[in-house]
Amino acid sequence: MTAKRTILVLGLGLAVALLAGWVAFPRALYSRRHQPLEFRHKTHAEKSGVAECSQCHALRDDGTFAGIPTIETCAGCHSERMGTSKAEAILVDTYIKPGQEIPWLVYARQPANVWFSHAIHVKRVALACAECHSTYGETDEVRIYEVNRISGYSRDIWGHSISRLRRAPHEGMKMSDCEDCHRRHNLEVGCLGCHQ
């Protein structure tokens, strides 16, 4: 066998592996899903005069985070159709009128054994929403929801970059990302400080 042939075969193997690992794998690993409705943050903020994230994504009095607002909040304005878009039609007919909660796909969903307190991070430490959630909430972007077929969690948890290199500052919500920030700020928290 010639050396040239050997190199060719090796190179082919390497090329296939690299292509599979860096291109095909990330594409195949994630399945793409659409949110049940196309919700546009910027439009809503402008039209209803909402300036702060916390006005809809509120902190309750007992310190728990309400997360994505319930259908009651939407019904506050949308009890009847306000516009002509298809999304609005679905909103009013499928969710508001029957009183059904919208099954939003949550990008930041953490495992059941994680305890994250928005009260501590947002109210006490005054961390900006964009630090973890990016400035998505200031745009009209309707993001696709990519979910990892094996683990079942959103792509946002690992971060978009499959190698975790050259990430945007807000990208990634794995335990190591929380730990990095805590280490930078010299805030040691025991296991049960974040787990339950």
Partner 1 sequence: MKVTRRDLLLWGAAGAAGLAITPVPWKLLDDVSIWSQNWPWIPQPTHGPVEVKQSFCTLCPNGCGMRVRMAAGWPVGIAGVASHPITRGALCPLGYGAHQLNWHPQRLRTVRHRTNSSSWEEARAAFAKACGEGPIAIIDGYPGRAASSVFESFAQKRGSYRAVLGPEMQALSPYEMWSGVPAAGLGYDLENAQTVVSFGAPLLDGWGTPGRFTRLWAERAAGSTDPQLRLIQVEPSFSGTAPSRTATRAWQWVPIHAGAEAALAAGLARVLLDEHLVSVSARGPMPPITLAEAADETGLSIGAIADLARTMVARPPVLVIANDGNPAIAALNVVLGAAGAPGGIVRRAKHTESYASAAADIGSARAVLIDSTVPWNFAPPTNAEVFRFAAWDGGSCTADWLLPAPGFLEELTDVPTSPASAIATYAVAPTLLKAPPGVQSAAQFLFLSGIDPTLMPVEKIIHARCADLFRERAGTLQGQDTTPVAKFASVQKLEEQLWKGAVWIGEPPRSAAFRCALKEWPATARSAQSMSSSSMNWSKAWRAPVLPPLASKLYQESSLREAPEGRNA
Partner 2 sequence: MNARYGMVIDLDRCTGCGACMVACASENNVPSIPQATPRTGLTPMLVRRVSNEMEGSARREVFIPITCMHCERETPCVSVCPQQAVEVDKATGIVMQMPQRCLGCRYCMTACPYHARYFNWWDPAWPAGMEKSLNPGVAVRMRGVVEKCNMCHARLHSAKAKAAAAGRREIDPADYVPACAEACPTAAIRFGNLADQNDPVSQEAHSPDAFRFLTRLGTEPKLYYKSKEAWVRALAESTSANAEVKHG
DSSP state of 150: T
Which residues between 86 and 115 bind partner 2 (CB under 8 A)? 111-113, 115
DSSP letter for each residue of 62-120: TS-B--SPPHHHHHHHHTS--S--HHHHHIIIIIITTTPPP-PPPTT---TTB---HII
Look at residue 12 and give the partner it binds from partner 1, partner 2, none, a contact being a CB closer than 5 to 8 Å depending on partner kind.
Answer: partner 1
Which residues between 57 and 76 bind partner 1 (CB under 8 A)? 60, 62, 64, 66
The smaller minimum CB distance to partner 2, of residues 65 and 136, is found at 65
Contact present, 36 and 104 (Cβ < 8 Å): yes
Output the smallest distance, CB 172 to partner 1, in A. 12
DSSP state of 184: H
Tokens of 3: 């050396």
Question: What residue has token string 């920030």?
Answer: 181
The smaller minimum CB distance to partner 1, of residues 164 and 182, is found at 164
Task: Give me the residues that bind partner 1 (CB under 8 A), please.
Answer: 1, 6, 9-18, 20-22, 25-26, 29, 60, 62, 64, 66, 111-112, 148, 150-153, 158, 162-163
Task: Give me the residues that bind partner 2 (CB under 8 A), please.
Answer: 59-64, 111-113, 115, 117, 119-120, 123-124, 188-193, 195-196
